[in-house]
Amino acid sequence: MSVARGGPLLQSRAMAQTPALQGKHIVLGLTGGIACYKAAELARELVKAGAAVQVVMTEAATRFITATTMQALSGRPVFTSQWDASHPNAMPHIDLTRNADAIVVAPASADFIARLAQGRADELLSLVCLARPIERCPLLVAPAMNREMWAHPATLRNVAQIAADGATVLGPAAGEQACGEVGDGRMLEAAELCDALVAFFQPKLLAGRSVLVTAGPTFEAIDPVRGITNHSSGKMGFAVARAAAEAGARVTLVAGPVQLATPQGVRRIDVQSAAQMLAAVLPEAPRHDIFVATAAVADWRPQQATVAKIKKDGSGRVPALALAENDDILATVARLPAAERPWCVGFAAESEDLARHAREKRARKGVPLIVGNLGPATFGRDDNTLLLVDAEGERELPRADKLTLARALVAEIAARVPKRPG
């Protein structure tokens, strides 16, 4: 098999964990709304992620949070007026975006979205948005308003217009609002917005592709309160799902019993047992281009779970537990007819002799790529080391946090998956 490589070989050392937004220059715009308090945390998150943050506030925004607060958090003077004479050429609306990688307006009020839709420029922030080099300085907008304002036909029309003009609309979320009402219109949380911006800048290596991912352990019931499971946290699989979505793919995540937040833009199906995971995967597999079997699926299950809890009787006798072998989800998908079979990636969680076991697993399951790792050294941790095993040999992705590894793995997959005809 000829394998396309996505760049120079990685060395066997810790991968550099550069902050996700290192070197990025972000203009953070604030408009009037109670959600301005979240913008303070967003500025902090962006700076922690390595970005240089320049804050621009409307006059209404200064009624909710001070420019002093935003200056302290961003480390830069805050601009609030197009008439600011302190700027060298008195043209902040031009200069602020010439080196900017993006403008993020958060919160974006209904009034400001209307200004953007109409191309108005009667204050500094709308001037900055209108005067930006549109081909290289994208605009991201995080709406924040009352649910009735969000649902109003005028607002929906304006949001559709700015999206048609090239803006990326982030949110809004649903939930309790400052006015006491509940519904759509809440601004996304600061961490969600920072993650969305990081995702925005990721290379779209899987644009137009669809990816099916399994993650986490399975739980095979013995009785209503006990079961067979393992130490898998699901973190690696969730990181792969997030990285694939960041790379532009349509992603479906089939998750075992874990308590992890669903990555943005990912469709999630929750299951418990291996049988349930197989039942969820089989109809999905033919609808996806790529299948990444990250889940640590239990090899065996009790032949029959009891209806009531098995009780100790004081005799010291241990009840017999008859086991049955679970179906192999990865091998089952890999055996689908060619027209229905996605490009398959398996994971091998071993306790020793990783390379040999991974090679044997790849041959046994008939898949182009196996990703090996030492289970006891990674289960529950936030970092890992991966071994890529294909027909040409082995290569290590050295220790890094799981999201960094997931992005590297997605790049490897994108380089290997056959191009579509035409």
Q: Are 389 and 412 in contact (CB under 8 A)?
A: no
According to DSSP, the β-strands at 52-57 and 25-30 are parallel
Helix, strand or coil, per DSSP, at residue 343: strand
Helix ranges, 313-383 (H): 329-334, 354-365, 375-378
- In angstroms, the Cα distances linking 385 to 202, 212, 318 are 22, 22, 39
Helix, strand or coil, per DSSP, at residue 394: strand
Degrees, nearest 5: CA angle 190-133-150? 40
**100 has which bridge partners?**
none
- Residue 28's identity, in one-letter code, is L
- Candidates 230, 278, 184; CA nearest to 375 is 230
Supply φ then ψ for residue 21, to 5 degrees.
-115, 20
**What is the Cα gyration radius of the chain?**
25
Contacts of 334 (CB under 8 A, 6+ apart): 341, 344, 365, 366, 367
Which of 36, 129, 137, 179 is the catalytic position?
179
- Respond yes or no: is residue 129 known to be catalytic: no
C-alpha 302/C-alpha 228 separation (Å) is 8
C-alpha 9/C-alpha 22 separation (Å) is 23
How many other β-carbons are positioned within 10 Å of the β-carbon of residue 300? Answer: 14
C-alpha 72/C-alpha 173 separation (Å) is 28
Helix (H) and strand (E) counts in the chain: 14, 19
How many other β-carbons are positioned within 10 Å of the β-carbon of residue 413? Answer: 27
Q: What is the DSSP letter of 138?
A: -
Q: Which residue has the tokens 């005799």?
A: 315
Active site residues per annotation: 179
